[in-house]
Amino acid sequence: MSESSFPATLDRLDEMIAFILDFAERQGLNPGAAYKVRLAAEEVLVNIVKHAYPDGPGTIGIACAPAEGAAGIAIEIKDTGLPFNPLEKSDPDTALPMEERPIGGLGIFLVKKVMDDIGYVRDGDTNILRLVKHAS
């Protein structure tokens, strides 16, 4: 188990991702799985940085643990910003040509595509998103 918290700012994004990837590597994730963890982590963290705290600075808590059952990583990402359940967002229409695409909505969709399991709970004033990626 490895836990830390960071200011919810874009200039700390690389540090947050490195924190998660270090743990993922220790769980034996291959480069392909690690790439997917990086992608999901970035999408979730950027969303929080950009939208969770419209009124001022905020914090992001990250906890990494070995996945249950099979080898892998379970990542818990917490913020105390606006309630937001990414699983309720509808998927974008990937058949739309580029000139008709709305600019948003892709990030969460990619998270759903690349993770093996995603769970969300709102606990009091805290959004808790749990992401699981198996090693292979």
Partner 1 sequence: METTFATELKDGIARITLVGKLDATHAPALQEALKGLIGQPVDKIVFFARDLDYIASAGLRVIIFAKQQIGAGAQVYLVGAQAPVLDVVKMSGLDTFMTVQDAFDA
Q: Which residues bind partner 1 (CB under 8 A)?
A: 10-11, 13-14, 32, 35, 38-39, 42-43, 46, 94-99, 101, 103, 106-107, 109-110, 113-114
Beta carbons within 8 Å of 134's beta carbon, 6+ residues apart: 33, 67, 70, 71, 72, 116
Strands (E), the chain: 2-7, 59-66, 72-79, 117-123, 126-134
Q: For partner 1, which is the closer residue by CB, 33 or 63?
A: 33
Choice between 31 and 56, CB closer to partner 1: 31
Do the beta carbons of residue 7 and residue 57 sit within 8 Å? Answer: yes
Minimum CB distance to partner 1, residue 26 (Å): 21
Which residues is 122 bridged to in the sheet? 127
Give the residue with the Cβ less far from partner 1, 32 or 124.
Answer: 32
CB of 1 to partner 1, least distance (A): 27
